[in-house]
Structure 1
């Protein structure tokens, strides 16, 4: 272990400084390299940390030299003499008789190199306060020592307020350079907590954590707070007001940082203090000095608490505490900071950086300028014209909207309308739309107003007028007169409106055009929305795989561009859950819905998204047999629909309540609820109320009453309502709806005693529709129904491929077992009446069977084929748990079914 004279030892700080364990562990793993730099402004604990590393290496028996440099050491001779003196304890006999002060620089350097070569083991030289000695001449000496191939055992540690200016790229490439800077030296929260232990009992852990964030871990700022809190009886007020304007902190910054700077640098820092960040070109544009760009470059020559914000070093900002001090100086010397900020806003505007321009205008408290900048940058188009969206830009402006004459900025006002709608603040959105409608008088502005008005119909759950949609298509014919983002949103709205009208091919066509237009306009935020329309159109077209791809792309892009848990992430998760729940992947669907659906209920959403999430949620709960949870989810969704003012969603939810009551056998409750919620028997025969093309999801009155009548055993009325529903449709229903209708048709055919036609319908369904990806539609019909389908496939001797496809669909997740549903209710839910669990047709067969008629005679009496009679007899045997005709008749008489 080496012992030096007092000058050549690191300073002793006692217990005042905490141990920087993480940094020390990093260096311990690396060991001393040819060059390690510890660079930071005053007050970051550079020397303290270097001393800790020195002590750690000394305890390991390393050869060490500590040399604190002074202003005189900027002379080459002084520096070389100091290095030779520092080495004497390592080489006790080398310095005797040497008059170093009289030697020329070249000789001194030669002597130093010779002595370093004679050291046989690695040696580490710590040069503290290197910035005092830093000149071109002294830097050249260090560069020569580091370049010498026979001195690789000599390691240098430079502790400085400014970085070395000699070349270091070769050292970096060879892995012989370690750079420690402000980010490394800034205290972590754990270190900040340790720093205050036993010295500031008045502060809580939360207060210390917040303070560390505000000071960005600057040790001297934390030390100042620690002293002030210890001396004060009101620690809370100190924390609230502490920044560079604090008297003690200002004194430190003035003495240690600011006062030693050249006057032109001082003026430059004060003049630009109001700016959040500066660059060379921005400084040249807004500063009064013609040498502003040169002054910017010179900042690196001084020990300043400045953070570099980009990899190229183009943008910098001052530490917040130092910046507060500079702002106070600007006020003191009378600099017009608002003028500086306005100039900066205009500068950013000329560079098409709308967000930065508006931010600087608002910092100048010039709301009119902010509105003007947004207006000339496209107004509402800024919502979509970036990767992340311009939401924050308009949200910031909304807080200042009362100070703006919005009628003078109609495009900006339309942007406020869109942002309010996306946030679910529909009253505010309508308010801004009304202002814009009064201000948009010209032909061009009328097109802007139209596309936003159609967009508003999406968020307010109103149908866009046919005239507006036709006008949107006409607007697209203007070509170059319509800006790209405007064109993209118009295509977007056409895609959406054709989707909700079940014109799915046109929805996909316009959706793809809209996505391409948004991408071409650099508006990835807008493009991501198109996945919702394209995916839904694919889903309802029967292309579940393409829908899933679209939603997963939306999720991936939203998480990458905006972040996990964002509105668009939640949108993608909810829509994906619809696909997953339909396919039978209930766990994955439930997991995504658990956070994504509540998120959408509170944030950016529209009817279709909430409807998709609600239907997926109901599907999962019903197939898991959780009736109480399904009713609770309906209650919650209904509250959301009322809060949003979504009447269509309320109607859809009420329809699902009726459906759930029918499924659990609560038929009379279902009837009462249907009548009181608008699903009356009269509505079941109303054409407009039963237009399936305008109801992508949920029930219409005719479907509900067909199920109610079937559950009551009134098959004739169920058939009448059902057939009328099918024949009145002007457009072919989408694929999931066709599957649902075919299954209900099969249920009625079975109840009517027409198994041959039921089997034919089942065969056609399984061959013509991708039912495996929509298996939940079948499974949710209930276990009795699906078991009946299995029997139908067996008894009617349908082709093997049909049976195999049916088994494939039914071999998904377990069939529903609805909690708290009685056997009688289950029977009613599957369309079986109370007479022994037999259908009306099966009871007719039983009466003829009890009279002793053969199968052929029964068929002639009931106008049924032999196979159909056999089908009914097997069903009867299964339900009565018998195996012979005689046993069936006996069981019927014992139960009172037969006289």
Structure 2
């Protein structure tokens, strides 16, 4: 303080006669600070290493800080300073390690500021994943990339290894004790660093003490934020695994063997199977895989891991183990290799003693393959015989059946009924609850998008995506499908940066393992974003890629959708000949496909074809002729209750009629009213720039047209203020407690509430303890019920 504030006599009396206790010393120090008209910031680092008396003095200091004093306390490990009361009343902010790391959106903004558009978003997302948002790691990478002729290639090289990245990690590892490096090398093969597991694998009795010390002293290792144990930084793990690969083969096998035995004893069977296979214990590994893969896929959504096992298992092993055939068939059905699932199902049904339950499950597999093959008629043919009273016992399969029933209802054009049927799904307990419920929320989200209800879609899908990313990872196929649907919803609300960020480094996953609708929406959203940024060449590339994917995966509806969007793009600039050629391409596809397709598929493309014809006539400025195909497209979209498409066509019809010399303001007013009600901020901008200009002109001359209204982003329900009953003073909640109750009313767990509020799970537990006491509640449901009864939160 003497040096920083240039006050050589600061605390002279305190230093000349030290008080009897640290608390007295802190009191005297605070008194001196309060006398100076200076704004003071005190930084205390490594606070977790303080002695108990010093920690008590720091707690006293935090509770009695003067108005001109701010205090920043930093620690590597979690520790208790007894400041929960300060947190509750907003006088103190807890910043976790996850908050200090950059989020993907922040990384994208940083790279854009440093490198402009020389690096695409997918590359930035990979860099973010490798560095885990570590600011120093990002800074080092950008320093190297900024001086390169091709920054994108330089960043990809850094992500894949070599050069600066390896030198940096080698230098960091050289600073560690040799035995510490040996321990980290041997446990780098583990996905989760549980202390007991690390001790069992390494054979070092002081493993826990070493892990605790390294988590405090180095950035290589940190405490896991979710669950117990520790986690290695991605860059450190890759460097250590290279060291592991250099160990003798016998030692590597022994370490994998130890990991397999420990994990197997803890019922972590799938992970144990992987280690057993690496140890050369093939039969043991296959036994473990046979016992675990089905639950790993159905209950936890680990499709990539199951697909990896399918590619790794010899064909004779797969054929000889029927319990491996089911997860293999399920996993293949929900991917671009869906046609391979039929062969495995045939093998299952050829076995003796086949029950109706197994036949029904096999049809669920094949109907799922039909969905991923974009063959709705085959899906309906397989699902409909089991639609009522399926002979299924397992709750997980009944939940899958309910999701399929909802989807079947949706493609019949009844989105609201589809939601009702999905909500009738049976309750699932255990590990499968979260994953299967998330699948149900994905189906409901799709019904909202189908109707054009983008506000409701975002409100449902955003927390679902946050939970799924925690459980499964950012690039899991299911997570990528959720992101595609959410991106479509936020794009329609005119938040293009949010939409593109959601899809960063996910398109390749969707191409291989995404639902056709998720693939279509992802490509369409990215293409429209490119058009908005004046990158028409990029939009053409994306739409051509969607067409090529439709050809490769034998999904002609994707080809029709791609060509329709291309015609829409060319109609914006009145390129009549190009639009006509593309329409002819659509007609050629339909001439080949309609004779061999069923009514559901034909209905799904007919509205697109008529809309494409309308846009092609707009491109040629043949306004009068465009009315008829647009009227047909509107009728088909309305019958299918496709709300967003209906509004698009309604606005385009009003524009076409106006250009043809007819009065159409009533039609335009209806389209604008519906778009405002649904939160569709971009629908008319995406249709045609001249439509948007016409709307602006009409608004300036007509007071009856509704003004554009930007929807409010969904958040916690507003607090309802009631006169009766009035809560007593003892029951008044702090702002943080009120927010916890609001999130609790949405059935979120402590971990999910902490993620939403950007605080630790222990902080949420403290708030819950206070809420139980204030509201005299015995469980979480009673907390919400009593808070609503007392008017403390909205009902």
TM range (shorter): 0.5 to 0.7
Quick one: distance in 1 between partners of 2:460 and 2:593? 36
- Of the three residues 499, 515, 518, the one matched with 1:589 is 499
CA-to-partner distance for each residue in 1:543-589, whole Å, 9 max, x for gaps? 22210112211321133223445544443333222122212222332
User: Is 1:508 matched with 2:419?
Assistant: yes
Quick one: distance in 1 between partners of 2:656 and 2:598? 22
**1:675 and 1:681 in contact (8 A); partners too:** no
Aligned positions of 1:695-844 closer than 5 A: 695=604, 700-726=608-634, 731-755=639-663, 758-768=664-674, 770=676, 773-790=679-696, 800=703, 802-803=704-705, 805-808=706-709
Aligned positions of 1:434-449 closer than 5 A: 434-439=346-351, 441-449=354-362
Quote the residue 2:453 is aligned against.
Answer: 543
Aligned positions of 1:316-395 closer than 5 A: 348=265, 352-356=267-271, 358-359=273-274, 361-362=276-277, 365-376=280-291, 380-386=294-300, 389-391=301-303, 393-395=305-307
Deviation at 1:208, TM superposition (A): 7.5
Quick one: distance in 1 between partners of 2:447 and 2:175? 50
- Of the three residues 175, 178, 192, the one matched with 1:219 is 178
**1:578 and 1:612 in contact (8 A); partners too:** yes
Quick one: distance in 2 between partners of 1:302 and 1:782? 64
**2:399 and 2:428 in contact (8 A); partners too:** yes
CA-to-partner distance for each residue in 1:258-278, whole Å, 9 max, x for gaps? xxxxxxxxxxxxxxxxxx999
Quote the residue 2:380 is aligned against.
Answer: 466
Quote the residue 1:573 is aligned against.
Answer: 483
Quote the residue 1:897 is aligned against.
Answer: none
Quick one: distance in 2 between partners of 1:733 and 1:581? 20
Quote the residue 2:329 is aligned against.
Answer: 417
CA-to-partner distance for each residue in 1:307-352, whole Å, 9 max, x for gaps? 999999999xxx9999999997999xxxx9999999878x64xx75
State which drifts further: 758-767 or 486-495: 758-767
Deviation at 1:303, TM superposition (A): 12
The root-mean-square deviation of aligned C-alpha atoms, in Å, is 5.6
Q: 1:688 to 1:394 in 2, by over 3 A?
A: closer
Count how many residue pairs are aligned between Structure 1 and Structure 2: 543
Q: 1:645 to 1:477 in 2, by over 3 A?
A: closer
Deviation at 1:712, TM superposition (A): 3.7
- Of the three residues 667, 691, 695, the one matched with 2:576 is 667
Quote the residue 2:778 is aligned against.
Answer: none
Provide the secondary structure at the position in 2 that maps to 1:754: coil
Deviation at 1:436, TM superposition (A): 3.9
Deviation at 1:223, TM superposition (A): 11
Q: 1:545 to 1:808 in 2, by over 3 A?
A: closer
**2:617 and 2:626 in contact (8 A); partners too:** yes
Q: 1:691 to 1:660 in 2, by over 3 A?
A: farther
State which drifts further: 392-401 or 687-696: 687-696
Deviation at 1:591, TM superposition (A): 3.6
Quote the residue 1:149 is aligned against.
Answer: none
Provide the secondary structure at the position in 1 that maps to 2:366: helix
CA-to-partner distance for each residue in 1:468-509, whole Å, 9 max, x for gaps? 2123423x544xx52122122222223334334432123323
Q: 1:415 to 1:210 in 2, by over 3 A?
A: farther
Deviation at 1:622, TM superposition (A): 3.3
CA-to-partner distance for each residue in 1:859-895, whole Å, 9 max, x for gaps? xxxxxxxxxxxxxxxxxxxxxxxxxxxxxxxxxxxxx
Quick one: distance in 2 between partners of 1:511 and 1:569? 20
Q: 1:444 to 1:631 in 2, by over 3 A?
A: same
Q: 1:694 to 1:219 in 2, by over 3 A?
A: same
Quote the residue 1:451 is aligned against.
Answer: 364
Q: 1:685 to 1:645 in 2, by over 3 A?
A: closer
Quote the residue 1:483 is aligned against.
Answer: 394
Quick one: distance in 1 between partners of 2:251 and 2:600? 72
Quick one: distance in 1 between partners of 2:244 and 2:498? 51
**1:679 and 1:701 in contact (8 A); partners too:** no
**1:422 and 1:603 in contact (8 A); partners too:** no
Deviation at 1:745, TM superposition (A): 2.6
Q: 1:614 to 1:690 in 2, by over 3 A?
A: farther
Provide the secondary structure at the position in 1 that maps to 2:587: coil
Provide the secondary structure at the position in 2 that maps to 1:665: coil
Provide the secondary structure at the position in 2 that maps to 1:536: helix
Quick one: distance in 1 between partners of 2:380 and 2:593? 26
Deviation at 1:650, TM superposition (A): 1.9
State which drifts further: 522-531 or 553-562: 522-531
Q: 1:519 to 1:662 in 2, by over 3 A?
A: farther
Quote the residue 1:866 is aligned against.
Answer: none
Q: 1:214 to 1:503 in 2, by over 3 A?
A: farther
Provide the secondary structure at the position in 1 that maps to 2:681: helix
**1:600 and 1:610 in contact (8 A); partners too:** no
Deviation at 1:695, TM superposition (A): 3.4
Quick one: distance in 1 between partners of 2:343 and 2:175? 42
Quick one: distance in 2 between partners of 1:789 and 1:325? 70
Quote the residue 2:314 is aligned against.
Answer: 402
Provide the secondary structure at the position in 2 that maps to 1:695: helix
**1:684 and 1:701 in contact (8 A); partners too:** no
Deviation at 1:392, TM superposition (A): 5.9
Deviation at 1:374, TM superposition (A): 4.6
CA-to-partner distance for each residue in 1:670-695, whole Å, 9 max, x for gaps? 11221134369989999999989953
CA-to-partner distance for each residue in 1:384-432, whole Å, 9 max, x for gaps? 313xx33465245335410653234334223123434556455655554
Deviation at 1:722, TM superposition (A): 3.5
CA-to-partner distance for each residue in 1:109-134, whole Å, 9 max, x for gaps? xxxxxxxxxxxxxxxxxxxxxxxxxx
User: Is 1:527 matched with 2:442?
Assistant: no
**1:501 and 1:693 in contact (8 A); partners too:** no
Quick one: distance in 1 between partners of 2:339 and 2:316? 19
Q: 1:299 to 1:541 in 2, by over 3 A?
A: same
Quick one: distance in 1 between partners of 2:44 and 2:258? 44
Quick one: distance in 2 between partners of 1:327 and 1:307? 30
Q: 1:523 to 1:662 in 2, by over 3 A?
A: same
Deviation at 1:771, TM superposition (A): 5.3
User: Is 1:678 matched with 2:587?
Assistant: yes
Quote the residue 2:527 is aligned against.
Answer: 618
**2:422 and 2:444 in contact (8 A); partners too:** yes
Provide the secondary structure at the position in 2 that maps to 1:482: coil
**1:590 and 1:617 in contact (8 A); partners too:** yes
Deviation at 1:532, TM superposition (A): 2.5
